[in-house]
A and B are shown apart, each in its own frame.
Chain A
Amino acid sequence: MNIFRLAGDMTHLFSVLVLLLKIHTIKSCAGISLKTQELYAIVFTTRYLDLFTTYISLYNTIMKLIFLGSSISIVWYMRHHKVVRRSYDKDQDTFRHYLLMLPCLLLALLINEKFTFLEVMWAFSLYLEAVAILPQLVLLQRTRNIDNLTGQYVLLLGAYRALYVLNWIYRYFTEENYVHWITWVSGIVQTLLYADFFYYYFQSWKNNVKLQLPA
């Protein structure tokens, strides 16, 4: 495992921890899109079906279980926890996220590495992950004033994606037969979606002002 991949996994882990910290200690999910969290729960459930068929490493298995468990529990908290759910910006979080799922499924049926159930689900999870942040970005834009934890959550997610791109470049040049077009293209699309947010985040950080996105 190279340093980019490890750093990518760690920023991904930290992003989830930041979100759980916000929910557990502040008992608030203000500014967090339930739509995006539901999409992530579906992304990890459909991608990690190979937990039952393939063993890669203890690291791999533990990380998969963490991402599955955390994404499902975040959705549970936002929907059912009697205090947390009251802070959910339901009226602002109106992105019709289920409309993203059908095109991703059709694309997965058309473009996959092999036409098997696991491979189609794997491709579906990658296409869906690429666009899963959209409801969150729309919500950020609408809420205008973004608290630090929410900003850091999105920043860490974006860093995780950018580090994975570096990991792919590194692996392409150092490993033989390392070619994953589906992962690369959907991963790059996903990283570009964060670029706009990054721009405003660094502007506000540079000028030492509270992050505000333009309407």
Chain B
Amino acid sequence: AESSDLKDEL
């Protein structure tokens, strides 16, 4: 996945 795709932070 592209870096910006996964938003795993809250």
Contact = CB atoms under 8 A, between A and B. Distances in A.
Contact of B2 (A5, A9, A60, A177): A177
Nearest to A180: B4
Interface residues of A, number: 21
B8 A180 contact: no
A50 interface: yes
A57 B3 CA distance: 17
Interface in B1-10: 2-4, 6-10
A113 B4 CA distance: 7
Contacts, number: 27
Contacts of A179: 3-4
Interface in A58-78: 60, 63-64, 67
B3 A64 contact: no
Q: Is the interface of B mostly helix, strand, loop or mixed?
A: loop
Specify the main secondary structure of chain A where it touches its partner.
helix
A186 interface: no
A60 to B, nearest CB: 6
Given A5-B9, A60-B8, 10 more contacts: A50-B7, A56-B7, A56-B8, A60-B10, A63-B10, A64-B10, A113-B4, A179-B4, A180-B4, A183-B9
Interface of B: 2-4, 6-10
27 contacts: A5-B9, A9-B10, A12-B10, A50-B7, A54-B7, A56-B6, A56-B7, A56-B8, A57-B8, A60-B8, A60-B10, A63-B10, A64-B10, A67-B10, A113-B4, A114-B4, A122-B7, A164-B9, A167-B9, A177-B2, A177-B3, A178-B3, A179-B3, A179-B4, A180-B3, A180-B4, A183-B9
Nearest first, the 5 closest Cβ-Cβ pairs linking A and B are A177-B3, A113-B4, A56-B8, A179-B3, A63-B10
